[in-house]
Amino acid sequence: MMRRRSIYMLVAATALSSCEYNVENEGMVIDDSCEPTISYTATIQPLIANNCMPCHNGDGNIPDAPDLTTYAAVQSRAELVKEVTQSRRMPKDGTLTDTEIAAIKCWVDGGALDN
């Protein structure tokens, strides 16, 4: 009798746990769309040049501002560039549009290619 009761409890617990419903995601629209390949040369490099070069130009005038003047420098810090633009900590003047921030994210997520 005790064994049968344990089996029923196990079956009931399994059935209930398989009915999990995640309310947090209800109604959320996740836009995870990226162009197949965001071009570093055509898209990312101009964004860096126009928005980051006042501080990240390698002249040493601003302490702890990494030099972002080359592809290799940007690529080596790609995840950091993505994080600081997504959080809007950079650029300091907040001039990037949502579209530009999304382009940086897509470029980094796509492998930060030199294309």
Distance CA 31, CA 23 (A): 19
DSSP annotation of 92 reads T
CB contact at 8 A, 69 and 55: no
- Say what the pLDDT of residue 108 is: 97
Structure tokens given for 50: 């126009």
Q: Whole-prediction pTM value?
A: 0.70
Q: Return the domain boundaries, the chain.
A: 40-109
Q: What is the pLDDT of residue 99?
A: 96
Provide the pLDDT for residue 11: 53
For the segment 41-56, what is each residue's pLDDT rounded down to a tens digit?
999 999 999 999 999 9
With 60 as the cut, is the pLDDT of residue 67 above it? yes
Q: In this predicted model, what pLDDT tens digit does every residue of 7-40 receive, in sequence order?
A: 655 555 555 444 444 444 455 454 567 877 899 9
